[in-house]
Structure 1
Amino acid sequence: MPLPFLTADRAFDEAADVALPFDDRDQWRRPYRPGPYRVGAAALLLLLASYVLFAAVIIAVAGDVAAATVCGVLAVLIITAALRLLRMGTWVSARGLRHVGFLQTRTAPWAQVVAARTVQQPVRWLGLPRTVQGQALVLVRRDRQGEQTTLLTSHGADFLGRSTAFDRAADSIEVWTEEYRPQS
């Protein structure tokens, strides 16, 4: 089974001289690989879901179909959360820039993008309330009167302890921005 989210770094490594290494630029792509903390959390959720599914089977064999259904629904919710956790991040295509969060997705067409730039600022550590000094890739949009939206941080689940991966991902998104946003 192909895993397209794992090909981002390989495509970048194979085409190191090309800023935008993808042939089909109309397809939404995450220009970086999910980090080990994000993948580890999703793996733990899937492990928990397997135990809940096993419990649902045992409960169903014991004869309590209603409780087995509840366990099955809970397992499906856990699996959905794990898959959504893996899908989170910043995606780019020729149509715009998309920031996928756990509960919502925001898409900015290139016509609305003023800039995407890396700044030094306090960032949240693994998305928790604690902040540390780090780098962030911020998006400035026309329709939000210059308000900055943080897309990536150097201390997020994808880049904690992987500063070169953050630099590569931020550079790649900045190149996509320069390539597709309208010049004013």
Structure 2
Amino acid sequence: MPLPFLTADRASEAADDVALPFEDRERWRRPYRPGPWRVAVAALSLLIASYVLLAAVVIALTGSPSEAGTVFGLSLLVIAAALRLLRMGVWVSERGLRHVRFLVTRTVTWNQVASVRTVQQPVRWLGLPRTLQGQALTLVRRDGSPQDAVPLLTTHGADFLGRIEAFDRAADTVEAWADEYRQP
């Protein structure tokens, strides 16, 4: 049985010698795969949402429609949160860099970017208040805005915890996009 997702992975591995292997550079794309922690939490959320949907059906059959609607709305909220969690990360295109967080999305055009670089600094472990020494991919704007305090990617985030090589590849790819498209 053909597995198309495996051939896509092999094609991207074969194109590793090219810094920017994408042909359609106008589309927003994440230059790395979501990490196992992020996917596991989203899968668990979707599993919980399926049970809540089943509860909504049972309530609709036995109880009042307003209660069923409330539970159904709760399940839709959990599904939307899981999908947003999977969408979080850094996205690039020829127009700029987009940093998608859970509630906020910020887009910076390449002409506003002074540099994108990897630095050694204290980083948050899985987004929690605890900090560890690690690496972070940071964005430095030309105007020096205070939004630079939030790192784009970290070695201890949900995408790269325990996957240092994946962080290095993703950081190098984002830096390559920045080097190609930002104006000196």
Task: Give the length in aligned residue pairs.
Answer: 179
Residue in structure 2 matched with residue 45 of structure 1 by the alignment: 45
Residue in structure 1 matched with residue 136 of structure 2 by the alignment: 136
Residue in structure 1 matched with residue 152 of structure 2 by the alignment: 151
The TM-score with structure 2 as length reference comes to 0.92
Residue in structure 1 matched with residue 126 of structure 2 by the alignment: 126
State the shift of 1:65 in Å.
0.5
Give the AA of the match of 1:13: E
Verify the 8 A CA contact 1:110 1:177 in the aligned structure 2.
Answer: yes
SS of residue matched to 2:108: strand
Residue in structure 1 matched with residue 99 of structure 2 by the alignment: 99
Q: Following the alignment from structure 1 to structure 2, what is the Cα–Cα distance between the partners of residues 165 and 149?
A: 20
Q: Following the alignment from structure 2 to structure 1, what is the Cα–Cα distance between the partners of residues 7 and 56?
A: 36
1:57-97 per-position Cα deviation (integer Å, ceiling 9, x unaligned): 00000031110000000000000000000000000000000
Judged with a 3 Å threshold, the aligned counterparts in structure 2 of structure 1 residues 120 and 41 are, in CA distance, closer, same or farther, namely same
Residue in structure 2 matched with residue 18 of structure 1 by the alignment: 18
SS of residue matched to 1:136: strand
SS of residue matched to 2:152: strand
Judged with a 3 Å threshold, the aligned counterparts in structure 2 of structure 1 residues 124 and 94 are, in CA distance, closer, same or farther, namely same
Q: Following the alignment from structure 1 to structure 2, what is the Cα–Cα distance between the partners of residues 8 and 172?
A: 18
Q: Following the alignment from structure 1 to structure 2, what is the Cα–Cα distance between the partners of residues 131 and 43?
A: 26
SS of residue matched to 2:151: strand
- Show structure 1 runs of 4+ deviating over 2 A: 5-12, 143-149
State the shift of 1:132 in Å.
0.4
State the shift of 1:25 in Å.
0.3
Please tell me whether residue 166 in structure 1 is matched to residue 167 in structure 2. Answer: yes
The TM-score with structure 1 as length reference comes to 0.92
1:111-162 per-position Cα deviation (integer Å, ceiling 9, x unaligned): 0000000000000000000000000000001133584441000000000000
Verify the 8 A CA contact 1:141 1:148 in the aligned structure 2.
Answer: no
SS of residue matched to 2:122: strand
- Percent identical among aligned pairs is 68
Judged with a 3 Å threshold, the aligned counterparts in structure 2 of structure 1 residues 7 and 94 are, in CA distance, closer, same or farther, namely farther
Q: Following the alignment from structure 1 to structure 2, what is the Cα–Cα distance between the partners of residues 138 and 172?
A: 13
Give the AA of the match of 1:174: E
Q: Which runs of 5+ in 1 are unaligned?
A: none
Verify the 8 A CA contact 1:99 1:151 in the aligned structure 2.
Answer: yes
State the shift of 1:101 in Å.
0.4
